[in-house]
């Protein structure tokens, strides 16, 4: 029996697994002939892009309901090491340390928040990088109402990029939920001189309008000296008394990618070809945030679920095809959009690499909600046919402007 081992069950890994099961069924191979095993440190698929939201009740979907119906095995384990020469992966589980052999590997371990060595960040900083971190922040916010300290309802968000803006603009609603509406204060901090530096001249005025309408303050062109239990000291010398500091400054690919000898881009992602095969490695495919695929002469995939999901579906299809000597399918994505949540103000939908504004406010919010609540969810009927159909190697059309 041959084994396909998939590391990670996020947007790339989940769809690689179901995509592989789909191709296995299409060619008529039996589950007993090709074993598909997914390893993730969590027993759920995290809809990670929603970890900033007020309501976290539906962002962790048990893997069993998604993988059991399609005959994909799954194990909870922390990947420690990958040895492409021996075709082995070392995993720590509850029961200890295990070595898993593979015939083909799909690396889909995603990305993680970059945490620089700023004094107090590890002890006092919150984030929304994972479901566990998002729950910890939620518990903390709920408890703030019981604290009688200065600045208890002040939240400082560090990093005015995509995630930081979504966290900051959602925060007034989160503080209201915590019973702190009247005292709520949100401050967005960034070393850049502008908010949303990568959004360009078209989108930035929209973001600024949303921030000012929601009363979100900014501190731009400043760094962070230290974080304390009751506030944050900025490089400008200002100390902001704050019950909560949320760190949103930068993402990096899984550090396990850096341990492999394959070709990597400047960010440390594994460079993959059109079939999702990692360049410079044998029998290794990669997809999602840990992988980088050139899309045209000037653009590459960016760390986003828009790319991670199709990369996963194609990796799953191709890994089975490759194993059985069948032709593989090249992935070709010819569109790029961003839909940025701006809390109660609405959202911003941009199109193209130059981020032309397509819709804003309530109209863009309807698109964002369709994406976050429907489009990126796997079918939850528990039906094998529904799951396999959703994993077909195809690229969806851009999200519609109305739900």
Ligand X SMILES: Cc1cc2nc3c(=O)[nH]c(=O)nc-3n(C[C@H](O)[C@H](O)[C@H](O)COP(=O)(O)OP(=O)(O)OC[C@H]3O[C@@H](n4cnc5c(N)ncnc54)[C@H](O)[C@@H]3O)c2cc1C
Distance between CA atoms of residues 13 and 316, nearest Å:
9
Minimum CB distance to ligand X smaller for 46 or for 87: 46
194 close to 211: Cβ distance less than 8 angstroms: no
Minimum CB distance to ligand X smaller for 69 or for 164: 164
Helix (H) or strand (E) holding 25: helix 11-26
Rounded to the nearest whole angstrom, what is the least distance from the CB of residue 301 to ligand X in the complex?
10
Rounded to the nearest whole angstrom, what is the least distance from the CB of residue 48 to ligand X in the complex?
4
Distance between CA atoms of residues 253 and 386, nearest Å:
31
| Pair type for strands 337-341 and 347-351 | antiparallel
Rounded to the nearest whole angstrom, what is the least distance from the CB of residue 299 to ligand X in the complex?
15
10 Å Cβ neighbour count for 387?
A: 24
Minimum CB distance to ligand X smaller for 178 or for 311: 311
Minimum CB distance to ligand X smaller for 42 or for 88: 42
SS3 call for 172: helix
Q: Which residues would be at the binding site for ligand X (CB under 6 A)?
A: 8-13, 40-42, 46, 48-49, 51-52, 78-79, 108-111, 128-129, 163, 166, 254, 256, 288-290, 303-306, 308
Rounded to the nearest whole angstrom, what is the least distance from the CB of residue 41 to ligand X in the complex?
4
Distance between CA atoms of residues 228 and 147, nearest Å:
16
Minimum CB distance to ligand X smaller for 43 or for 221: 43
Minimum CB distance to ligand X smaller for 8 or for 203: 8
SS3 call for 304: coil
What is the phi/psi pair of residue 294, to 5°? -70, 130
Rounded to the nearest whole angstrom, what is the least distance from the CB of residue 150 to ligand X in the complex?
28
34 close to 323: Cβ distance less than 8 angstroms: yes
- Give residue number: closest CB to ligand X: 10
Minimum CB distance to ligand X smaller for 226 or for 373: 373
Alpha helices in 200-268 (DSSP H): 200-214
Rounded to the nearest whole angstrom, what is the least distance from the CB of residue 39 to ligand X in the complex?
6
19 close to 312: Cβ distance less than 8 angstroms: yes
Helix (H) or strand (E) holding 347: strand 347-351
Question: Which residues face 2 on adjacent strands?
Answer: 34
Rounded to the nearest whole angstrom, what is the least distance from the CB of residue 324 to ligand X in the complex?
25
């Amino acid at each position: 029996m041959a084994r396909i081992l998939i590391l990670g069950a996020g947007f790339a890994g989940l769809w690689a697994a179901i995509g592989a099961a789909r191709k296995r069924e299409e060619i008529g191979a039996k589950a007993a002939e090709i074993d598909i095993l997914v390893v993730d440190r969590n027993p759920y698929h995290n809809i990670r892009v929603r970890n900033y939201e007020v309501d976290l009740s539906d962002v962790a979907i048990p893997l069993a309901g998604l993988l059991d119906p399609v005959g994909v095995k799954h194990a909870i384990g922390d990947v420690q090491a990958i040895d492409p020469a021996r075709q082995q992966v070392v995993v720590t589980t509850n029961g200890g340390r295990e070595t898993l052999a593979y015939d083909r590997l799909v690396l889909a371990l995603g990305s993680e928040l970059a945490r620089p060595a700023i004094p107090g960040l590890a002890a006092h900083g919150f984030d929304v990088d994972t479901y566990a971190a998002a729950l910890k922040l939620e518990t903390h916010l709920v408890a703030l109402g019981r604290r009688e300290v200065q600045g208890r309802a002040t939240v400082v968000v560090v990093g005015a990029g995509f995630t930081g803006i979504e966290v900051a603009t959602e925060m007034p609603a989160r503080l209201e939920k915590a019973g702190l509406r009247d005292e709520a204060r949100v401050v967005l901090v960034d070393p850049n001189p502008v908010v949303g530096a990568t959004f360009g001249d078209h989108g930035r005025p929209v973001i600024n309008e949303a921030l000012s309408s929601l009363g979100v303050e900014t501190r731009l062109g400043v760094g962070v000296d230290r974080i304390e239990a009751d506030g944050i000291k900025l490089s400008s010398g200002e100390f902001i008394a704050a019950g909560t500091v949320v760190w949103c400054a930068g993402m990096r690919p899984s550090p396990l990618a850096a341990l492999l000898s394959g070709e990597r881009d400047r960010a440390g992602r594994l460079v993959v070809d059109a079939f999702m095969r990692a360049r410079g490695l044998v029998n290794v495919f990669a997809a999602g945030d840990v992988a980088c695929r050139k899309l045209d002469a000037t653009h590459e995939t960016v760390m986003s679920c828009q790319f991670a999901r199709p990369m996963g579906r194609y990796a799953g299809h191709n890994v089975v095809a490759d194993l059985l000597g069948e032709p593989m399918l090249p992935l070709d994505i010819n569109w790029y959009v961003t839909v940025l949540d701006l809390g109660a103000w609405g959202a911003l939908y941009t199109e193209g690499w130059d981020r032309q504004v397509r819709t804003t406010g309530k109209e863009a919010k309807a698109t964002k909600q369709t994406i976050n609540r429907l489009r990126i969810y796997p079918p939850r009927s528990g039906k094998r046919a529904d799951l396999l159909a959703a994993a077909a190697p195809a690229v969806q059309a851009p999200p519609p402007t109305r739900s």
